[in-house]
Structure 1
């Protein structure tokens, strides 16, 4: 039996694509210096999503990082994202209908209007900070529409969301915990105020319906109710924000493909899927092994934390032809995109994310066909969990829009 090669978390964060490309042909597993195993081959990643010899990670990493109490631990203990079995089913079920494809499809005109409005607000300037002026606002406006909360709340809850999202990266440091505790406390207080207000004064909105359903069924505790709404705010804001910045930057770095999208709106869905593949906003999914698993002669021991690297799987030539090439006309996409995970934990917001990314790209291509980078491409940081994006400015010729 073979032993996996070990790399520091810093090495993997900084050079993930290069390391995965080099070692996928050699070994199915790498190991981080903190003892976390990393599955890097597409076939293994896809199978292990649903392998009964693994389960979803719960609070193991957080507790190793010193999170032993406080609002952060409470959130992680009660979110559907880090739960298993009956707890996961009960926490997820009240949210499934609201995020079903047929209901999300009805949001398309609203998403389109939001994207157009954000472009209108900046069009006369000839340039913008894409993350601050567009990517941060679009998904936040949409989640406000779904939940029934005012747009004026966006600056407050997004500050907490962007800090709290680090909890879903397995490489966060102990020094980050105080800020994450504060963010969790602030977001919890905000959501609790929403829940209390809807109990006093129900409306025709998602939160009112969710609270009423929880009260009627009695299956979720107050802490679980609050944690699921916190989860929606987090997942509905941060990952799509990153994906919007990444896909725009990628297409502008490949101007022939950007021009093709501008000429042919029919290419938009494929362009979205290809950008999600080429540089995903979520780099990995954590699992815990329940028993020893042998992968191509390498033992993955039971009782260990396992990172399923979608970042690596999405560049695996066993799954994609010429995987290191961005190709919006790619003819070999899998039926179910690996970036959204798999099994019972597959991303609840998949349909919503696709609608937001498609409508945003279509609006940009239609309204700003001469869009270009105004400086360096976006910096995408992190090789595990939710990734961070920084520094994307874009410009356009005001006389040609």
Structure 2
């Protein structure tokens, strides 16, 4: 069998949907011009997420970009996101209680209140930068509430998070590394100070219980403990930030569907799931092949970095009717959303992200039914990892006395 079709990383970054639509009927595999294989059909992506012939990628891509030491290397080496086996279980388990389903469900009134407060802060102006004034703050304030982090620290840790999140995209370059190293160092020092503070001055919060559990079990080193908190701050703020912006833009571009949600809040969960399917905030999951794998007559060699494209899978016509049509009333929405992964690496914060997206949308539709785009729709880029968003201004008619 000949080599898979080669596509450029730059083209994928800007035109991923078009490329996947063109090649999905022809082949289950593409190959990026940097050597990374891409699985683009839904059934393959779902199966390979838990296939024992693959494992989660660790530091393979980072090493090819020259990341061999420093705080960025520590972050990528010790984060549970890029861990396997016993190391993954030990790093993830101490965090499970903070993201248990019952605990997250009980947060719903608090999340709703935060969303309402953010709207109140801008309501009389009749406009806002949706990302800077709403999407940045909602998930960051919620993660602060969960962990016990002061909200006054949000500008400090989100500055680091937005730079460091590029580490989870396979397209970052050697030129990006110095800035990412700096962000990783700053965020590591910030989290280390937080954990030291809780050891010296215990409180009734998750960070205190986390440090006590770590010190009792002695299963994680200090650097591992710090890196897991860095991971939670990143995952709990950056990814949902993007999803909130994507969700608002899609619904406002499709005015009839925005108005439908405004008129019937029962549509909110389906609207959230359709937005996640149509334009997911995470484009792919990175794996490494441990054996040769055959996909529909094509051979995927062992020892290769493999990108499982959720972006491509969730517009696969074998799974979704008219997959390029945005429709919050579609009957083929997934019950267990692929954007959050599957298996032991399924996103720890999936329930929290869905709750924030639902309550954020509920607050916007209830308080700002006249909300509309103030300029162009959101620009979403990236064919893998955490995708980037920029440029979303909105306006509304104020209800004045």
What is the TM-score when the length of structure 1 is the normalising length?
0.99
Q: Kindly indicate whether residue 373 of structure 2 is the aligned counterpart of residue 373 of structure 1.
A: yes
- Provide the rounded CA distance (Å) in 2 between the counterparts of 1:199 and 1:228: 17
Cα deviation 1:162-194 (Å, max 9, x = unaligned): 000000000001100000000000000000000
Q: Which residue of 1 aligns with 2:136?
A: 136
Query: Relative to 1, partners in 2 of residues 1:304 and 1:400: Cα closer, same or farther, differing over 3 Å?
Result: farther
* 3-state SS in 1 of match to 2:96: helix
Q: Which residue of 2 aligns with 1:179?
A: 179
Q: Which residue of 1 aligns with 2:392?
A: 392
- Provide the rounded CA distance (Å) in 2 between the counterparts of 1:120 and 1:98: 29
- The equivalences for 1:148-167 within 5 A come to 148-167=148-167
Contact 1:67 1:73 in 2 (8 A): yes
- Provide the rounded CA distance (Å) in 1 between the counterparts of 2:120 and 2:98: 30
Cα deviation 1:259-291 (Å, max 9, x = unaligned): 000000000000000000000000000000001
- Provide the rounded CA distance (Å) in 2 between the counterparts of 1:339 and 1:269: 15
* 3-state SS in 2 of match to 1:30: strand
- Provide the rounded CA distance (Å) in 2 between the counterparts of 1:375 and 1:400: 24
Q: Which residue of 1 aligns with 2:115?
A: 115
Contact 1:2 1:297 in 2 (8 A): no
- Provide the rounded CA distance (Å) in 1 between the counterparts of 2:287 and 2:93: 21
Q: CA deviation at 1:318?
A: 1.1
Q: Which residue of 2 aligns with 1:287?
A: 287
Cα deviation 1:275-329 (Å, max 9, x = unaligned): 0000000000000000110101111000000000000001001111111111111
Q: Kindly indicate whether residue 241 of structure 2 is the aligned counterpart of residue 234 of structure 1.
A: no
Q: Which residue of 1 aligns with 2:303?
A: 303
Q: Kindly indicate whether residue 253 of structure 2 is the aligned counterpart of residue 253 of structure 1.
A: yes
Q: CA deviation at 1:335?
A: 2.4
* 3-state SS in 2 of match to 1:256: helix
Q: Which residue of 2 aligns with 1:362?
A: 362
* 3-state SS in 2 of match to 1:319: coil
Q: Which residue of 2 aligns with 1:38?
A: 38
Q: CA deviation at 1:400?
A: 7.2
Q: Which residue of 2 aligns with 1:63?
A: 63
Q: Which residue of 2 aligns with 1:169?
A: 169
Q: CA deviation at 1:399?
A: 3.6
* 3-state SS in 1 of match to 2:103: helix
- Provide the rounded CA distance (Å) in 2 between the counterparts of 1:393 and 1:335: 32
- Provide the rounded CA distance (Å) in 2 between the counterparts of 1:123 and 1:39: 45
Q: Which residue of 2 aligns with 1:29?
A: 29
Contact 1:251 1:257 in 2 (8 A): yes
* 3-state SS in 2 of match to 1:233: helix
Cα deviation 1:34-88 (Å, max 9, x = unaligned): 0000000000000000000000000000110111110000011110000000000
* 3-state SS in 2 of match to 1:175: helix
Q: Kindly indicate whether residue 194 of structure 2 is the aligned counterpart of residue 194 of structure 1.
A: yes
* 3-state SS in 1 of match to 2:286: strand
Structure 1: segments with no counterpart, 5+ residues: none
Q: CA RMSD in A?
A: 0.9
Q: Which residue of 1 aligns with 2:11?
A: 11
Q: CA deviation at 1:334?
A: 2.2
* 3-state SS in 1 of match to 2:125: coil
- Provide the rounded CA distance (Å) in 2 between the counterparts of 1:164 and 1:7: 26
* 3-state SS in 2 of match to 1:6: strand
- Provide the rounded CA distance (Å) in 1 between the counterparts of 2:261 and 2:341: 27
User: Which runs of 4 or more aligned residues in structure 1 lie more than 6 Å from their structure 2 counterparts after TM superposition?
Assistant: none
- Provide the rounded CA distance (Å) in 1 between the counterparts of 2:183 and 2:244: 23
- Provide the rounded CA distance (Å) in 2 between the counterparts of 1:245 and 1:12: 21
- Provide the rounded CA distance (Å) in 2 between the counterparts of 1:288 and 1:215: 33
* 3-state SS in 2 of match to 1:124: helix
Q: CA deviation at 1:3?
A: 2.2
Number of aligned positions between the proteins: 401
- Provide the rounded CA distance (Å) in 2 between the counterparts of 1:334 and 1:258: 21
Contact 1:2 1:299 in 2 (8 A): no
* 3-state SS in 1 of match to 2:34: coil
Contact 1:259 1:369 in 2 (8 A): yes
* 3-state SS in 1 of match to 2:236: helix
* 3-state SS in 2 of match to 1:356: helix
Q: Which residue of 2 aligns with 1:207?
A: 207
Structure 2: segments with no counterpart, 5+ residues: none
Contact 1:270 1:328 in 2 (8 A): yes
Q: Which residue of 1 aligns with 2:73?
A: 73
In terms of mean alpha carbon deviation, does 158-167 or 316-325 score higher?
Answer: 316-325
